[in-house]
Chains A and B, each alone.
Chain A
Amino acid sequence: MATFTERMAPVLVLWLAVSLSGTWAVDKGNFKTCDQSSFCKRQRALKPGESPYRALLETMELTNTRLTLQLINDNNKVRLLLELYRLQGNITRVKINELKPLKLRYEVPDVLIRDPPTEPLSLLSQDENGVVLSLGAESQRVIVSARPFRLDIMEGREVLMSLNSRGLLAFEHLRMRKDTQADPEAEKKEETDPAKQAETAKEEEEKVEDGMWEETFKSHSDSKPNGPSAVSLDFSLPGVEHVYGIPEHADTLRLKTTENGDPYRLYNLDVFQYELYNPMALYGAVPVMLAHNAQRTTGIFWLNAAETWVDISSNTAGKTVFGKMLDYVQGSSETPQTDVRWISESGIIDVFIMLGPTPKDVFAQYASLTGTQAFPPLAAVGYHQCRWNYNDQEDVTSVDAGFDEHDIPYDYIWLDIEHTDGKRYFTWDPHKFASPKEMLQGLMDKKRKMVAIVDPHIKVDTNYKIHNEIRSRSFYIKNKDGGDYEGWCWPGSAGYPDFTRADMRDWWASMFAYDQYEGSMENLYTWNDMNEPSVFNGPEVTMHKDALHGAWEHRDVHNLYGFYVQMATAEGLIQRSGGVERPFVLTRAFFAGSQRYGAVWTGDNAAEWDHLKVSIPMCLSLGLVGISFCGADVGGFFKSPSTELLVRWYQTGAYQPFFRAHAHLDTPRREPWLFGPENTALIREAVRQRYTLLPYWYQQFYHAHRTGQPIMRPLWVEYPEDPATFALDDEFLIGRDLLVHPVTEEGARGVTAYLPGKDEVWFDVHTFQKHNGAQNLYIPVTISSIPVFQRGGSIIPRKIRVRRSSSCMMHDPYTLYVALNPQRTAEGELYIDDGHTFNYEKEFIHRRLSFANNLLSSVNLAPDAQFSTRSWIERIVILGASKPSKVILKTDDGQESQLEFDFDSSMSVLTLRKPGMNAGVDWNVMLQ
């Protein structure tokens, strides 16, 4: 769902016509460059060199939990307060604020799941040049240098990261506006000569610098009553050539250097027809960057919700492979280094330095700060059918029936904005959706579900209950003059509830109660779109920065808005069931911590091959910063895909965490069966592959929820020492055991997949062909091919009996795929719960499956957990096996029985027929 159509109010159509001028690409002129954002321009103009900041060591205070120290800017004598914390789990937190700010500066609340627990710091040495602190038990130290101020984090003799090493720390202190002291009108009257008057005005502006106290972009002016307030800090990463993260950008997985263009921008925006491979801001922002080399992975979490720009430079950028080799053979002393610099418009510097050392450690460290992926209901991991818009109940019924007729499973059908009564969320169009409960019941009878959109812009209409309640409670965001902020969005004039208020969020959550949200039922879930927030007539299609959230400006909280909308909505879905059912909420805008509330998608993409390709790095980047439940609109939102592109997109989407087809209102219909029987069969097969793997996917979600590890992973996460994996973003891992290289080239006859790990073997999941690791494998493909490999050494459970929906498969038996490594061992897990409630916290089955010494066994990993399943093991397929003479099953009651088997010697595949034991009990299978 996106921006504009002819169905908008006429005013907007006009706006559209002017602003879009009929082209199929983003109008870059609608969005700011760094040069057009005054603080970015100001900050970027600072050159590296001697920093004006000096640490006043005599002010140092060291308590058990933190170190504080004042910094002084020798140019203007403004003092800052530095706080340094050692956090549990190898994290260092650095906070810098004004010592005595004119008024409070914004510190981001609600993103951290708790006050991070600290560990003691101890002073190792101190002299007039600085202090050395020990970071806990390991040989890690922080060196605080006084003049200029700088921090170096060391391990042994190695510098892991340096702060302000380039002297780009900048902290614009809050100040009184000087030119408001005098009456500028009076002054001007004295000046009779117009030329002279202009000159004077210009001089004055230059004194305060352009855009410090007021800034205009296109026709929008930002009143900036607090004046300049930007913060900035640089980080040096010695030995690092690869940095990742800071989504959301439509760019490669490995971040590029930004010296020759704009920095990467983090500012949640509704970008119409976004362009690929550039650093422009998109719908969401997670200010987290990962740095990686073969020895170590670290992370930087810059906790600031204002508009933020990130510059990246590298001393090896631009060097060819040959050049690097030359350096190597000539023994060049220059170690590779990446420098990054963060610039935010307001707030404070609050940065968490996650010191790894492994990728998994960094994920765990970040999860300890902002939480883990919400554990979704199992059905949400299935296939979602969406379109803007399913026209009416009859349409919903017939699409639902279409899936049955063509025997394609799906779990959720979606309704976009047209389902409402005039874009009034929480309502239904009285003609097209006259009896929503009947419709929902019809879906429930088939064990299927629905998602309906609820956007945060509220139609200003005194006959609309939601609006009246928000207005009467004064829950709307206010404009700079104190009135309710109004902007244009889908319903026309709309107000924007202030989701930063806890009382507003509570009220919003209560609106999802079954007796409040008329026509809703327990199989109705929610989609939050346009929550950047999108304001059609606002600057950069979003809210004016001088709008007010209580004491804070929108400028301070902008990137948090979407996070809060999803938080309140998810809370509503939890509350309506009395805390029993897991919610499912999709959001377009997000921030650090959004993973706790549901799924995100990559917004309004287009039906183009490059958009299919970029869906991989976009979701990988999100996974690296905690947001695992990611997907792209299958088929592409804008424009109409060719049949080949649509099929390839289903094949790719089936192996990405959030699997939803979606289409723009103005595109021709594209339900899976509309492209002839061959293509219907291809799409059916892709969706079925998804459903057979649901047990594995669900297990990945469980892990992501428990540990914060990403589900969809770049290869380097599992093979951190293999530089060949560092920039790969046309293939990925699901968990650690499945490697997917989707076909994303038009007319492809083959793909080359890198199979990592010199000690690994990989089995083609379709043919069971075995391949060695650490090689580039050329795989010939046809239109039906989805190159997927199972890692030797893994056990993956599947449900082969694909049914109408995931709920219909609940009690079905499992087939275990045991892929042996060269040591003839394998390990895996089996996770089972009820699939939809919070009871999983106590009631679940979690078993370790392991194969060694010709013995396959299932062991309980959670003996305290209670759950029983009707599911059983119907088949065990062992890849890379040799032929046994007999196979014995031993169940926990001591019973032994011989299993029948089938051995395919050409592929070394052993299939054990119908062992039949319950999936939740202990058992052993012996190959003899």
Chain B
Amino acid sequence: MMTCQTPYILLLLCVGVSAVEVQRPRGVPLSKRQFYEENKPFTCLDGSRTIPFDRVNDDYCDCQDSSDEPGTAACPNGSFHCTNAGFRPGFIPSSRINDGICDCCDTTDEYNSGAACQNTCREMGRKERESLQKMAEITKEGFLLKQQLIQEAKRGLEDKKAKHSDVQISKKDLENMVEALRTVKETAEQPEKEAKERHLKAWEDQKAVIQMEKDKARMTEVFPELDDDADGFVSVAELLSHSELDPDSDGSFTEAEAQGLLGGVDQVDAVTFESVWNNIKEKYISESNADTPAPVETPTEEIREPASDNDSEQYPEDDIPDEEEEEEEEEEEEDDDQDEGDYKSPPTTQTQEKKDDDDEGTMPPYEQETQNLIDAAQKARDAFDETEKALREVDDQIKNLEKEISFDFGPSAEFAYLYSQCYELTTSEYTYRLCPFNRVSQKPKFGGSETNLGTWGHWAGPEDNIYSLMKYEHGTGCWQGPNRSTMIKVTCGKETVLVSTSEPSRCEYLMEFISPAVCQEPPNPDSALHGHEEL
């Protein structure tokens, strides 16, 4: 049979020392009490119809807006008001009335379900007050810290601006110096170049002579080899036994071709062979040593190649490099400089020496005069490079300063102190690292490479509180998924600490970060709890 229930609840309200009874239908908030007048016809709150008062809370839905059943589950979209004396009042969907689950801390939602609910309002109220108080204290202290942060940021900004103009000046100086040293360098390099070219030319000439002699000696060896019948002539037939000499390398070495090689005659003597030798020496394979052909190589081109794979100017342009990266970069820069310095100096690398040994021997050392010119030019180059490097560093410094100065560190730059800091959190599996305004990363605790969870994107909080969320994006890609990204939820606290991390969706991370920088001016702590209370 249908359930019976009391349509009224008796509310005992403690206001000061006096007790007042307020009668109203179950589930109606005080603010709407005037619409539910006992024994008068009830008009649905949307005005759609009027029903006798005994149909309010009679467990049948008469009003389309559900207003006739505030205290039963009869209407589909109704809401039930729990007074929750001792705690905060609230509304629950009326579908939670008498469903056997305790929703209101004052147990009023379960008046007919048999659910054994405990009134927990007082306890909850106490806990909430405690935590509110704690929060208020934290907020208060945090807010004080925030003021300091703002002051520091202000000073920092001024420092940076001052530094910026200082550095601008030294940049000018450096620029002038670079220009002056460039002239010095170029002046010293001209005679150096000429002297080196002279030296090189002499060496090449000498090499040519040596080469010619070697050629001749080889020819003298080859002639008897070719002259199989030792009649003092190399004939077409004798030549034909060396199929490698086939001029068009088409696999058939014809007599006509051989004759062609011999200059149109059938045989040549040792003297005439000299002109023939020039045509065949590149291809000729010695009979005594047929599998080690010694084609004449010209390693000269290779000598010019610097033995480095990073001759092109690679200048890393990470926006805000963290410390480690900065160090790496500096090292790279030094490497670059070295390469540039090497590029016109005489061959000194091991490979080159070895190659020279193979063939015509080593280029003789520079004469003293040339060496002096080289030393002078090198000195000028070094001076120029060093100054130019200094200029680049200053440029970087300026860039970084400008970036920092214009960066959005919050309305009063209260987040500026996080710049170039990093915070870590270690879980059972990973160490997470947040470097605010730079990047977020994850590294397995027990070995394995670091994963980029996103680089600084933008502030991403709701419009009224944009600085409560940081978004880091474009991290390492996921298999069949998006690039990793991280949201950092910033909450108020005295310390600056990364407190939690989760991956609510695949490759989308959420971390909680505490910082005084988001602490709001604390409201009056008493009004926090009682402000919304109906009592």
Interface-side segment among B133-141, B258-266, B306-314, B498-506: B498-506
Complex formed: what's the CA distance from A612 to B87 in Å?
48
Whether a CB of chain A sits under 8 angstroms from the CB of B361 is no
In the complex, residue of chain A having the shortest beta-carbon distance to the beta carbon of B500:
A394
Q: Is there a chain A Cβ closer than 8 Å to B481's Cβ?
A: yes
B227 at the interface (CB under 8 A from A): no
Question: Which B residues touch A394, using CB under 8 A?
Answer: 502
Docked complex Cα distance between A808 and B479 (Å): 41
Contact (Cβ within 8 A) B505 A872: no
| Interchain CB contact (< 8 A) of B506 among A665, A812, A917 | A665
Among A101-109, A321-329, A728-736, A798-806, the one that faces the other chain is A798-806
Closest residue on chain A to residue B60 by CB atoms: A914
CB <8 Å contact, A804 and B502: no
Query: Is the Cβ of A918 less than 8 Å from the Cβ of B428?
Result: no
The answer to whether A5 and B95 touch (CB under 8 A), given A431-B428, A445-B101, A813-B2, is: no
Asked if B271 is an interface residue, CB under 8 A from chain A, the answer is: no
Query: Does B100 lie within 8 Å of A447, measured CB to CB?
Result: yes
Binary interface encoding of chain B residues 488-509 relative to chain A, with 1 for a CB under 8 A from any of its CBs, else 0:
0000000000000011111110
The complex places the Cα of A800 from the Cα of B60 at a distance, in Å, of 11
Residues of chain B within 8 A (CB-CB) of A914 are: 2, 58-60
**Given contacts A802-B76, A812-B73, is CB(A916)–CB(B100) below 8 Å?**
no
CB neighbours (8 Å) of A395 from chain B are 502, 504
Q: Report the stretch among A332-340, A359-367, A453-461, A666-674 that lies at the interface.
A: A666-674
Q: Restricting to B98-126, which residues have a CB under 8 Å from any CB of A?
A: 99-101
**Contact indicator A803/B95 (Cβ below 8 Å):** yes
Cβ proximity bits A778-820 to B, threshold 8 Å, 1 near / 0 not: 0000000000000000000000111110011100110000000
Q: B74, A6: Cβ atoms under 8 Å? A: no
Query: CB of A913 within 8 A of chain B?
Result: yes
For the complex, what is the distance from the CA of A809 to the CA of B95, rounded to whole Å?
9
Indicate whether A874 reaches chain B with its CB closer than 8 angstroms.
yes
Please state if A804 and B96 are interface contacts (CB–CB under 8 Å).
yes
B482 beta carbon closer than 8 Å to chain A:
yes
Tell whether A391 is near chain B: CB-to-CB under 8 Å: yes
In the complex, whether B480 has a CB less than 8 A from a CB of chain A is yes
User: Does the CB pair B100–A808 fall under 8 Å?
Assistant: yes
Is the C-beta of B1 less than 8 angstroms from some C-beta in chain A? yes
Name the A residues within 8 Å of B59 (CB-CB). 874, 914
A620 to B57, CA, bound (A): 44
Give Cα distance in the complex from A391 to B510, angstroms.
13
Q: Look across to chain A and name the residue whose beta carbon is closest to the beta carbon of B58.
A: A914
Q: How far is the CB of B148 from chain A (nearest CB, A)?
A: 35
Residue B457 at the chain A interface, CB threshold 8 Å: no
Taking the complex as formed, is A446 at the interface, i.e. its CB lies under 8 A from any CB of chain B?
yes
**Residues from chain A with Cβ under 8 Å of B429 in the complex:** 431
Judged by a CB distance under 8 angstroms, whether B212 is at the interface is: no
- The yes or no answer to B478 lying at the interface (CB within 8 A) is yes
Once the chains bind, are A666 and B60 in contact (CB under 8 Å)?
A: no
Contact B506 A666 (CB under 8 A): yes
Report if A644 contacts B (CB, 8 A): no
Given A447-B100, A667-B506, A913-B60, the answer on whether A800 and B76 have CB atoms closer than 8 Å is yes
Residues of chain B contacted by A917 (CB below 8 angstroms):
1
* Separation of A807 and B101 alpha carbons in the complex (Å): 11
A24 → chain B closest CB, angstroms: 9
B496 to chain A, nearest CB (A): 24
Q: Is the CB of B74 within 8 A of A801?
A: yes
Q: Is the C-beta of B93 less than 8 angstroms from some C-beta in chain A?
A: yes
Which residues of chain A are within 8 angstroms of B1 by Cβ–Cβ distance?
Answer: 872, 916-918
A425-449 contacts to B (CB < 8 Å): 431, 445-447
Contact status A668-B505, CB under 8 Å: yes
**Interface residues in A569-598 (C-beta closer than 8 Å to B):** none
> Are A666 and B480 touching (Cβ within 8 A)?
yes
Nearest-Cβ distance from residue A915 to partner chain B, whole angstroms: 10
Q: Name the B residues within 8 Å of A801 (CB-CB).
A: 73-74, 76, 95
Chain B neighbourhood of A392, CB < 8 A: 502
Question: C-beta contact mask, B279-315 vs A, less than 8 Å → 1, else 0?
Answer: 0000000000000000000000000000000000000
Closest B residue by C-beta to A409 = B95
| In the bound complex, CA of A875 to CA of B503 (Å) | 48
Question: Chain A contacts of B507 at CB under 8 A?
Answer: 666
**In the bound complex, CA of A407 to CA of B78 (Å):** 12
| Chain B neighbourhood of A812, CB < 8 A | 73
Residues from chain A with a CB closer than 8 A to the CB of B76 are 800-802
Q: How far is the CA of A665 from the CA of B480 in the complex (A)?
A: 10
B276 smallest CB distance to A (angstroms): 50
Evaluate contact between A916 and B2: CB separation under 8 angstroms: yes
Given contacts A666-B479, A808-B101, A913-B60, contact A391 B502 (CB under 8 A): yes
Q: Which of A447, A803, A809 has the most CB of B within 10 A?
A: A803
B478 in contact with A872 (CB, 8 Å): no
Contact with B along A877-899 (1 / 0, CB 8 A): 00000000000000000000000
Q: How far is the CA of A803 from the CA of B502 in the complex (A)?
A: 31
Q: Which residue of A lies closest to B502 (CB)?
A: A391
Minimum CB–CB distance from B61 to chain A (whole Å) comes to 8
Assembled-state Cα–Cα distance A913/B101 (Å): 28
Output the nearest chain B residue to A429 by Cβ-Cβ distance: B428
* Residues of chain B within 8 A of A447, CB atoms compared: 99-101
> In the complex, A870→B503 CA distance in Å?
45
Chain B neighbourhood of A803, CB < 8 A: 73, 95-96, 99
Question: Which of A431, A804, A913, A917: most chain B Cβ within 10 A?
Answer: A804
B57-74 vs A, Cβ < 8 Å mask (1 yes, 0 no): 011100000000000011
Contacting residue for B481 out of A666, A809, A813, A918, CB 8 A: A666
* Measured CA separation A394–B504 after assembly (Å): 10
The smallest C-beta distance from A916 to any residue of chain B, in angstroms, reads 5
Which residues of B1-36 are within 8 A (CB) of A? 1-3
**Are A5 and B2 in touch, CB under 8 angstroms?**
no
Q: How far is the CA of A704 from the CA of B428 in the complex (A)?
A: 49
Minimum C-beta distance from A76 to chain B (A): 54
Of chain A, the residue at the smallest CB distance from B93 is: A407
Which chain A residues numbered 539 to 594 have a C-beta less than 8 Å away from chain B? none
Q: How far is the CA of A185 from the CA of B481 in the complex (A)?
A: 54
Chain A residues within an 8 Å CB radius of B95: 407, 801-804, 808
Q: Name the interface residues of A655-682: CB closer than 8 Å to any CB of B.
A: 665-669
Per-residue interface assignment for chain A, residues 404 to 422, with 1 indicating a CB less than 8 Å from any chain B CB and 0 otherwise: 0001000000000000000
Contacts of A807 in B (CB 8 A): 100
Closest residue on chain B to residue A6 by CB atoms = B479
Proximity string of chain A (677-695) to chain B, C-beta cutoff 8 Å, 1 when within and 0 when not? 0000000000000000000
Which B residue's beta carbon lies closest to that of A692? B76
Contacts of B93 in A (CB 8 A): 407
- Name the A residues within 8 Å of B101 (CB-CB): 445-447, 804, 808
Q: How far is the CA of A800 from the CA of B482 in the complex (A)?
A: 42
Chain B residues near A668 (CB-CB < 8 A): 482, 505-506, 508
B73 contacts which chain A residues (CB < 8 A)? 801, 803, 812
- How far, in angstroms, from A917 to B2 measured CA to CA in the complex? 7
Determine if A669 and B504 form an interchain contact, defined as CB atoms under 8 angstroms apart. Answer: yes
- Residue of chain B at shortest CB distance from A448: B101
Q: How far is the CB of B504 from chain A (nearest CB, A)?
A: 6
Q: Is the CB of B60 within 8 A of A874?
A: yes
Q: Which chain A residues lie closer than 8 Å to B481 at the CB level?
A: 666-667
Which chain A residue has the least Cβ–Cβ distance from B98? A811
Which residues B501-525 have CB closer than 8 A to chain A? 502-508
List B353-368 residues whose CB lies under 8 Å from chain A.
none
- Complex contacts, B505 vs chain A, CB 8 Å: 668-669
Q: Which B residues touch A802, using CB under 8 A?
A: 76, 95
Report the bound CA distance from A392 to B501 in whole Å. Answer: 12
What 8 pairs between A and B have smallest CB-CB spacing? A808-B99, A6-B479, A669-B505, A666-B481, A914-B60, A803-B95, A916-B2, A431-B428
CB pairs A–B below 8 angstroms (9 shown): A5-B479, A391-B503, A407-B95, A447-B101, A668-B505, A669-B508, A812-B73, A874-B2, A874-B59
Q: A446-B101, A666-B479, A914-B59 are in contact. List 8 more A-B contacts (CB 8 A).
A: A391-B504, A407-B93, A666-B480, A666-B481, A667-B506, A668-B505, A808-B95, A813-B2
